[in-house]
């Protein structure tokens, strides 16, 4: 019989190799449990009315929970149960949530359900997370904003594409790895992800309907470059980035600065820094790529001022990111 290496075995060896504790395994086990439960709800959601809108009621008169709320509750439950998480930031909750009365080692920033517009159709969505660690020497703990970590302080970031059974995890300075769910619902078979150099399959992924609302420099860049690449857009960052990691190219969600209705401009972009942009930027760096915001600043260098801060995002193969950076700075 052939057995594939499990995620937990892979992580155990990683921690041992770097002389680290197994606390991280407890955290990752909770994150995986949460992902599996979200996946279960999602697969059976339409039958159970879980894909409806929050605030509506089902035929039994019970309140229907939006999938985003269900996913949030699931993740929070499993993170709490570890007793190793200090605080979390969830897209679904305005405030930072204290999880373990100030105890614990980790901060977790998550988008429990990415790609909500796919939910009604049962199409792929994501659960994305970034993890930072408390300074165990005690430094900075008096500082008010010690939970507002820049992406380059994350120790890990990852995403599940639900309901496909695919999980990608990047560990700081130890690569970006993809796992598959096997017949026993165990994540197995680590495969190292590196963005391919061959440009033949490179793709561009962005909401093309927004093109005329982008900055002039980016519109010009698109006009000059897009015919060289394949165009793909699912509308869920987790799914779009999942495909991009294997094929190479660039995902972008530029700032909206030329909307015909100026109230609809989004000069700060749409995506959230701490649990969307940083997550893919971190994985991308470990896969040999790069990520920028609209000013050409590396995403991972941005020190967040608030936990739900938005950012424009350009992420993918280095060559394309360098080329966009020139356009942004022109």
Selected binder of Mn ion within 39, 111, 240, 290 (CB under 5 A): 111
Q: What are phi and psi of 281, to 5 degrees?
A: -65, -40
Measured in residues, the chain has a length of 330
Rounded least distance, CB 272 to Mn ion, Å: 7
Q: What's the gap between Cα 218 and its chain centre?
A: 24
Pick 14 or 259: Cβ nearer ligand AHG: 259
Selected binder of ligand AHG within 111, 203, 293, 294 (CB under 6 A): 111
Tokens 């089902």 label which residue? 58
Contact at 8 Å (CB) between 113 and 119? yes
Q: How far apart are the two ends of the chain, measured CA to CA in Å?
A: 59
Left, alpha or beta for 124 (phi > 0: left; psi -120 to 50: alpha)?
A: beta
Query: How many other CB atoms sit within 10 Å of the CB of residue 283?
Result: 29
x/- letters, 22..61, toward ligand AHG (CB under 6 A): ----------------------------------------
Contact at 8 Å (CB) between 41 and 77? no
Report d(CA 59, CA 55) in Å as an integer: 13
Pick 82 or 278: Cβ nearer ligand AHG: 278
Pick 113 or 324: Cβ nearer Mn ion: 113
- What's the count of helices (H) and strands (E) in the chain, helices before strands? 7, 15
CB-based contacts of 296, cutoff 8 Å, min separation 6 = 325, 328, 329
Selected binder of ligand AHG within 30, 32, 169, 237 (CB under 6 A): 237
| Residue 268 sits in the site that holds ligand AHG (CB under 6 A) | no
Residues 145-204 binding ligand AHG (CB under 6 A) are none
Q: Which runs of consecutive H residues, i.e. helices, occur in 191-258?
A: 216-225, 237-247
In sequence order, what are the beta bridge partners of 106? 85, 133
Selected binder of ligand AHG within 165, 175, 196, 235 (CB under 6 A): 235
The one of ligand AHG, Mn ion, none whose footprint includes residue 296, by CB under 5 to 8 A per kind, is none
| Residue 286 sits in the site that holds Mn ion (CB under 5 A) | no
Report d(CA 189, CA 192) in Å as an integer: 10
Q: How many residues bind ligand AHG (CB under 6 A)?
A: 11
Pick 17 or 121: Cβ nearer Mn ion: 121
| Residue 240 sits in the site that holds Mn ion (CB under 5 A) | no
Selected binder of ligand AHG within 236, 244, 255, 291 (CB under 6 A): 236
Instruction: Find the part of the chain contacting ligand AHG (CB under 6 A) among 8-16, 144-152, 181-189, 233-241.
Output: 233-241
Pick 79 or 252: Cβ nearer ligand AHG: 252
Pick 138 or 209: Cβ nearer ligand AHG: 209
Report d(CA 182, CA 82) in Å as an integer: 25
Selected binder of Mn ion within 114, 203, 240, 293 (CB under 5 A): 114
Instruction: Find the part of the chain contacting ligand AHG (CB under 6 A) among 109-117, 216-224, 259-267, 297-305.
Output: 109-117
Report d(CA 53, CA 169) in Å as an integer: 30
Interface positions with ligand AHG (CB under 6 A) = 91, 111, 114-117, 207, 235-237, 270
């Amino acid at each position: 019989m052939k057995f594939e290496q499990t995620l937990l075995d892979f992580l155990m060896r990683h921690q041992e190799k770097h002389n680290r504790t197994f606390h991280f395994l407890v955290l990752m086990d909770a994150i995986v449990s949460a992902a599996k439960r979200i996946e279960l709800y999602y697969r059976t959601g339409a039958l159970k009315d879980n894909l409806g809108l929050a605030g509506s009621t089902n035929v039994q008169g019970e309140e229907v929970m939006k999938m985003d709320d269900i996913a949030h509750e699931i993740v929070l439950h499993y993170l709490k149960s570890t007793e190793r998480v200090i605080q979390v930031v969830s897209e679904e909750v305005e405030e930072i949530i204290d999880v373990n009365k100030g105890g614990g080692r980790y901060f977790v920033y998550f988008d429990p359900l990415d790609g909500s517009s796919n939910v009604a159709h049962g199409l792929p969505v994501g659960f994305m997370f970034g993890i930072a660690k408390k300074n165990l020497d005690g430094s900075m703990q008096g500082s008010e904003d010690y939970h507002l970590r820049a992406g380059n302080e994350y120790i890990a970031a990852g995403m599940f594409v639900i309901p496909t059974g695919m999980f990608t995890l990047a560990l700081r300075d130890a690569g970006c790895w993809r796992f598959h769910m096997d017949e026993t619902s165990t994540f197995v078979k680590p495969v190292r992800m590196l963005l391919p150099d061959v440009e033949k399959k490179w793709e561009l992924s962005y909401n093309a309907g927004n093109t005329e609302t982008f900055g002039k420099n980016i519109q010009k860049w698109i006009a000059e470059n897009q015919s060289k690449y394949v165009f793909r857009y699912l509308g869920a960052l987790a799914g779009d980035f999942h495909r991009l990691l294997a094929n190479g190219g660039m995902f972008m969600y530029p700032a909206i600065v030329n909307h015909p209705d100026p109230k609809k401009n989004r000069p700060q972009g749409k995506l959230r820094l701490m649990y969307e942009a940083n997550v893919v930027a971190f994985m991308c760096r470990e896969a040999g790529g790069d990520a920028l915001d609209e000013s050409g600043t590396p995403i991972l260098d941005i020190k967040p001022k608030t936990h739900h801060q938005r950012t424009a995002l350009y992420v993918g193969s280095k060559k394309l990111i360098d080329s966009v950076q020139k356009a942004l700075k022109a």
